[in-house]
A and B are shown apart, each in its own frame.
Chain A
Amino acid sequence: MIVEKIDLNTVQNDFNRKMAAVKRRVIICAGTGCVANGALEVYDALAAAIAERKLDVVLELKEEKPADIYLSKSGCQGFCQAGPLVTVEPEGFLYCKVRPGDAAEIVEQTLIGGAAVQRLLYKHPVSGQAIEKQDDIPFYKRQNRYVIGDCGVLNPECIEEYISRGGYAAARKAFTQMSPEAVCEEIATSGLRGRGGGGFPTGKKWQLTLAQQNAKKYVICNGDEGDPGAFMDRSLMEGNPHRVLEGMMIAARAIGADEGYVYVRAEYPLAVQRVRKAVADAEAAGLLGDNLFGSGLSFNVIVMEGAGAFVCGEETAMIASIEGQRGMPRPKPPFPAQSGLWGKPTVINNVETLATVPLIIAQGSSIYRTMGTEGSPGTKTFALTGHVANTGLIEVPFGTTLREIIFQIGGGVTDRFGNPDPDGFKAVQIGGPSGGCLTADALDLPLDFESVKGIGAMIGSGGLVVMNQDTCIVQVARFFMQFTQNESCGKCVPCREGTKQMLALLDDIIEGNADEQTLMLLEDLAQAVQLGSLCGLGKTAPNPVLSTLRYFRDEYLAHVRQKRCPTGQCKALAQPEIIAALCKGCGACVKKCPVGAIKGEKRQPHTLDAEVCVKCGSCVQVCKFNAIVGV
């Protein structure tokens, strides 16, 4: 059965005409974050307010018809801290923290009046100045949203809009004007490297798979982004699923595959839904299925939901999962390029990698190479979180420094209450549970795969957690070790047993039960786990420990030698004391203390006997002067 094929150019022209007939467009960010913050209610309120003012609004561009406003939802715009976000085109106003109650004002002032609603604009945290346009906001200004930019604009459920922006043209080029070798070559020349953490040259991976003589090959899109604190892939799958599909199609063309899988974490229900819809729409349009672009070639995509195992982000574990087994990795070699899904040559690529591919094919590898560094061309998305003013999803060219990211884009370090803390920078955890920490020494390091590896960390999938001086680095190492331990599949001895023992040793350190032998044992064990584990999860599990030991050894030593936690975060090591300067001698704490650890004269600063104290915290609860610490 021949599916009715659409003509990309026709669709593109049609859509552009429809857009041209509309005076204004209002885009509401409907990524998971903003939705949780009430973006859908804002959408409804705007729709209602517009209707009440009897403006001509369309919610879907079905026909070419003059209208006042096109109201649409987009994927994640990245500025999560400031959501719900509303953008008005063509003016380019970006409104932050919009509430349903603001709808009427927006309609009146902006949609009818053409002026910005000042109080909804972003305010510069230092100067207080209101900024109208997205591109002028420091958070966005220094970014190069090459791959994820469209997420914040187009309606991810509208295949026509994607096509109108040049979508699927790269795939058409790959299928009709380029040979598989040429496609591989172009990607190889571009220097694109895997964005999932491995950083393996994508073109080379494709070439290796193309070289395998086998009629059946597979493409798998790795959407199992499980790094805690990373949501780049989620945003791409939710915000621009068609670009990801297009990338898969080009990969299929490059290696000679006719079947593909998109493996999405079940914890991303919106992403699952969007990808499924995208697949269905693409099939209906004849862009997936048989005889693509008249080439006689087929490509079909199956969407599979993960079932809750971080380890399935590892390629051989993912393959096992698709095969219906426990997600346990397999030894490499053989690599998936030679023997992957059901023993057939398979390419597994990360979502971001695939989303970049159509751009390279469309614009050419030399354009791509103008961004980034020699060894790491292009851009990288990062999820910036932690003690930083502007948390959210960013994209910068490789070679950008940490300083730019944290202080310019991120707006600087904050204390635990969210207030600016200019001297508060302690470290950045990069690469999540597989990564390491970067200290102040690395602030001016141009970030790329090699430079970060050179100082004992790795870019990973792009999680960046900023930590201020209040953070206990041992606790950070422990947090990541617990995560890795939890997610270990249990197959190989070094990871299953090693991470368990490493976690226990870290607990000993935190509980004050360790000594210097513990540190030596921890390091010995970390090395053995790193060198001998079966898969990347185990091999990189010790990274946070090794990296923090390298840069913050003194902090560890304080824990084991003096049984003291310098940041005061480790409860078991806390030294309770009363700050004399703050204590008014009211005696309220004395009454509450169940063991009589506090003594003092009325109206004189009291003292606390740490030997007697059981750290129940009752005194802290009653002290009106915050004079008791370390409990």
Chain B
Amino acid sequence: MCPDCCQTATRKFEKVCEILDKHQCDPCKLIPILQEVQKVYRYLPEEVLTYIATGLGLSPAKVYGVASFYANFSLTPKGKYVVHICDGTACHVKGSGLIKDALFKKLSLSQDKKTTEDMLFTVEAVSCLGACGLAPVLTINGKVYGQVTPAMAESLIDDIIAGEKK
């Protein structure tokens, strides 16, 4: 494995320790801690959660219970590009379901399988993003696209794939 990856793993773990220390290992701060740790790993690995439980003096079942309750926490690795399709009222009424179907079909995904094999894309429906005037809305790694059609969505994906190939 390249020295880069060793560096990364080490840095990630050190970050976790930093995060715990910053919050003084206060169990009440579990949620901000999980949020910050997820930014480091892009999801919450099981061993890291156990480590956090140890550090905070909580049972791992409790930490798992909190992590699995909130939709923003992911217990499985996410793709490089995370696509969120808004399913709020306005977007729904304007056809967000069709966009989701189109992307699922294009990337061979489903309700149970939201990340592509090559770990490039994760596609999820999310609750209202509050940009209802632009419905239907999707975001890719946080960047907001409004008045999206299925065709537009597909071409956004194509652009990314092309960009990755280079």
Using CB atoms and an 8 Å cutoff, list the residues of chain A in contact with chain B.
32-33, 35-37, 80-81, 83, 225-231, 234, 266-269, 304-310, 321-327, 383, 385-387, 391-393, 429, 432, 463, 465, 471, 479-480, 483, 486-487, 489
| A429→B88 CA distance, assembly (Å) | 13
Residues of B near A326 (CB, < 8 A) are 65-66, 69
Which listed residue, A37, A225, A267, A307, touches B31 by the CB 8 Å rule? A307
A307 and B70 form a contact (CB under 8 A): yes
Interface segment among B2-10, B106-114, B142-150: the answer is B142-150
* Nearest CB of B to A313, in Å: 11
17 CB-based A-B contacts, threshold 8 Å: A36-B131, A36-B145, A36-B146, A228-B127, A229-B89, A234-B130, A267-B126, A267-B130, A305-B35, A306-B72, A307-B35, A307-B70, A307-B71, A309-B70, A322-B28, A327-B70, A465-B93
Q: Which of B44-94 contact A (CB under 8 A)?
A: 65-66, 69-73, 87-90, 92-93
A226 and B128 form a contact (CB under 8 A): yes
B89 and A386 form a contact (CB under 8 A): yes
A385 and B146 form a contact (CB under 8 A): no
* Nearest CB of B to A268, in Å: 6
Residue in chain A with minimal CB distance to B93: A386
Residue in chain B with minimal CB distance to A81: B133
Q: Which of B27, B34, B70 has the most CB of A within 10 A?
A: B70
CB of B137 within 8 A of chain A?
A: yes
B66 and A225 form a contact (CB under 8 A): no
CB of B29 within 8 A of chain A?
A: yes
B132 and A307 form a contact (CB under 8 A): no
Q: Knowing that A32-B131, A80-B132, A308-B71 are A-B contacts, what are 5 other residue pairs whose CB atoms are under 8 Å apart, sorted by A's residue number?
A: A33-B131, A33-B134, A36-B146, A229-B128, A393-B133
* Nearest CB of B to A626, in Å: 19
| A327→B31 CA distance, assembly (Å) | 11
Which listed residue, A229, A269, A487, touches B142 by the CB 8 Å rule? A269
| A307→B134 CA distance, assembly (Å) | 24
Residues of A near B129 (CB, < 8 A) are 32, 267
Using CB atoms and an 8 Å cutoff, list the residues of chain B in contact with chain A.
27-32, 34-35, 65-66, 69-73, 87-90, 92-93, 126-135, 137, 142, 144-146
Query: If the complex has contacts A231-B132, A321-B31, are A465 and B90 also in contact, measured as CB distance less than 8 A?
Result: yes
| A266→B27 CA distance, assembly (Å) | 20
B133 and A80 form a contact (CB under 8 A): yes
Residues of A near B30 (CB, < 8 A) are 324-325
* Nearest CB of B to A317, in Å: 10
| A37→B146 CA distance, assembly (Å) | 7
Q: Which of A35, A36, A231, A487 has the most CB of B within 10 A?
A: A36
A80 and B73 form a contact (CB under 8 A): no
Residues of A near B88 (CB, < 8 A) are 228-229
Which listed residue, A225, A307, A479, touches B73 by the CB 8 Å rule? A307
* Nearest CB of B to A463, in Å: 7
A36 and B66 form a contact (CB under 8 A): no
* Nearest CB of A to B10, in Å: 27
* Nearest CB of A to B28, in Å: 4
Residue in chain A with minimal CB distance to B68: A326
Residues of B near A35 (CB, < 8 A) are 144
Query: If the complex has contacts A37-B146, A307-B34, are A268 and B130 also in contact, measured as CB distance less than 8 A?
Result: yes
Query: If the complex has contacts A385-B89, A391-B90, are A229 and B70 also in contact, measured as CB distance less than 8 A?
Result: no
| A350→B101 CA distance, assembly (Å) | 36
